[in-house]
Each structure stands twice: as C-alpha cells, then as structure tokens.
C-alpha cells in the first residue's frame, strides 16, 4: 500500500476511466495528488512529446509532436502530414506517444494508442491545426490529415509500474 502512495505522490499513480455526461474521460492524479483530466494535463503542462509508429515489418519511426487534441470518449487527435509516421499507420494502426514535462525531474506520461480513423477534410484539419512555429510548418504540397486514436493504456514516464486500471 505504501508503494502505491509513493507512486501517486511521484507522478501519475493512477489512471481511471469515469463515466461523464459526454462519455468517458481519462482521469489522472498529478504530482501534487490532485485529480486532473488528461485534457487539462495537456492544456496546463509544458513539455516535449515524441510520437512513434512502426510499419508492417516492425521498422520504427519517431517524431517530435505537439500536444494531442483531447476529444470525447478517451479519443485523442493529431494533425499529421503524409510522412512516415502517417504512412506507417496505414499498415500498423498502433502508436506510442511519450510526453516529457519541462523541468529537471523525469515526469510525464506514456500513452499506447490504437488508430480509430483519419480524414483529410480541410475544414476539420484547419479546425485542429495549431499553426506551429515557422520551422515546423506543414508544406503546402502535402496532404494533411486529422487522425484520431483510442487511448489503450496510460503509464508513468519512468518505470514499468502498471497503475492497475483499465481505460
């Protein structure tokens, strides 16, 4: 039991799904022991994220990505150009998202994701495109997609502890 309390105090000791009015929300406890929805976490926490995919042969790709768009029912969305990460999803719909909080400690989350769907509908893509820094702008010639994923698992950044909850 003390091990579980330490785990909560250190970072995100627990993950749970609760039924809300608009569907399932992913709930976590932050390092101060406060309950926080995943959407709130990403809105209020600065850091660096890596999005990883693998092709049908297991060749892995990783890329720096922005915060996800947290949608209803435990679904996350990303704006993606038709590059290697996106192409890998066509043959292997699984991805990993690793988020490292700013600061000296190794805090953050690891998410295991399953592809739900994608669209290249310009209206939807423009709705979610955040207009990144100039060195990260998506080329005009690329097809841009809004890709959604179901969160399969949430884990702490460091360690192999399983919080013991399902999403």
> For tokens 């608009």, what's the residue?
22
Residues 6+ apart with CB under 8 A from 64: 48, 49, 50, 51
What residue segments make up the domains of the chain, in order of their start?
Answer: 45-156
Tokens for 80?
């993606």
Q: pLDDT tens-digit profile of 89-146? A: 999 999 999 999 999 888 889 999 999 999 999 888 888 887 654 455 555 557 899 9
Q: Which CATH number fits domain 45-156: 2.30.110.10, 3.40.50.2000, 3.30.420.40, 3.30.43.10?
A: 2.30.110.10
Mean pLDDT to the nearest integer, 7-24:
35
Q: pLDDT tens-digit profile of 88-101? A: 999 999 999 999 99
């Amino acid at each position: 039991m003390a091990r579980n309390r330490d785990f909560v105090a250190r970072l995100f000791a627990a993950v749970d799904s609760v039924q809300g009015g608009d569907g399932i929300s992913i709930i976590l406890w932050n390092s101060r022991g406060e309950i926080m929805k995943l959407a709130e976490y990403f809105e209020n926490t600065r850091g660096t994220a890596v999005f990883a995919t693998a092709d049908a042969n297991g060749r892995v790709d990783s890329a720096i990505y922005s915060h996800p768009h947290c949608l209803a029912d435990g679904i996350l969305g990303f704006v993606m150009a038709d590059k290697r990460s996106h192409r890998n999803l066509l043959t292997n719909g699984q991805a990993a998202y690793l988020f490292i909080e700013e600061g000296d400690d190794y805090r953050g989350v690891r998410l295991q994701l399953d592809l739900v769907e994608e669209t290249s509908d310009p209206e939807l893509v423009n709705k979610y495109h955040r207009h990144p820094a100039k060195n990260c702008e998506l080329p005009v010639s690329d097809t841009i997609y809004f890709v959604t994923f179901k969160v399969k698992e949430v884990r702490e950044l460091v360690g192999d502890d399983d919080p013991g909850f399902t999403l």
